[in-house]
């Protein structure tokens, strides 16, 4: 009887959790790519056709600049605030950017 009262196993951590997250996001129907960047803008991991080859480096550079600019604007308006989520929608795509202290998670999807 005591076995049924045991707590569930802890969630996966580290690389397993990252791989699970990338896999889960990549499997959504409208998602064309998932990218993990270092805070300096270096590519760590990409998944999906949208971020393959040179295109991934182009997106990485653009995302780094966008995040730095928006973060500076947020801090300028309110020094105690910080950027948590950035959603950019164009005619063709939607970028969802989640900045973290060490990484940037970027998801590119079809907005329709």
Q: Is the pLDDT of residue 59 over 60?
A: yes
Taking the C-alpha atoms of residue 34 and residue 22, their distance in angstroms, rounded to an integer, is: 7
**DSSP-derived 3-state class of residue 95:** strand
> pLDDT for 21-46, tens place per residue?
888 999 999 999 999 999 888 999 99
Q: How far is CA 8 from the centre of its chain?
A: 28
71-87 average pLDDT score: 95
Q: Facing residues of 97 across strands?
A: 86, 106
Q: Is the pLDDT of residue 18 over 90?
A: no
Is 0.85 surpassed by the pTM of this model?
no
């Amino acid at each position: 009887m005591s076995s049924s009262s045991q707590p569930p196993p802890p969630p996966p951590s580290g690389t397993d959790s990252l791989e699970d997250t990338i896999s889960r996001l990549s499997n959504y129907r409208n998602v064309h790519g998932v990218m993990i960047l270092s805070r300096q803008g270096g590519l760590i991991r990409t998944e999906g056709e949208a971020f393959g080859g040179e295109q991934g480096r182009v997106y990485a550079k653009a995302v780094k600049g966008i995040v730095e600019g928006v973060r500076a604007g947020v801090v300028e308006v309110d020094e105690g605030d910080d950027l948590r989520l950035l959603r950019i929608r164009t005619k063709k795509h939607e970028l969802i950017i989640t900045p973290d202290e060490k990484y940037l998670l970027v998801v590119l999807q079809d907005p329709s």
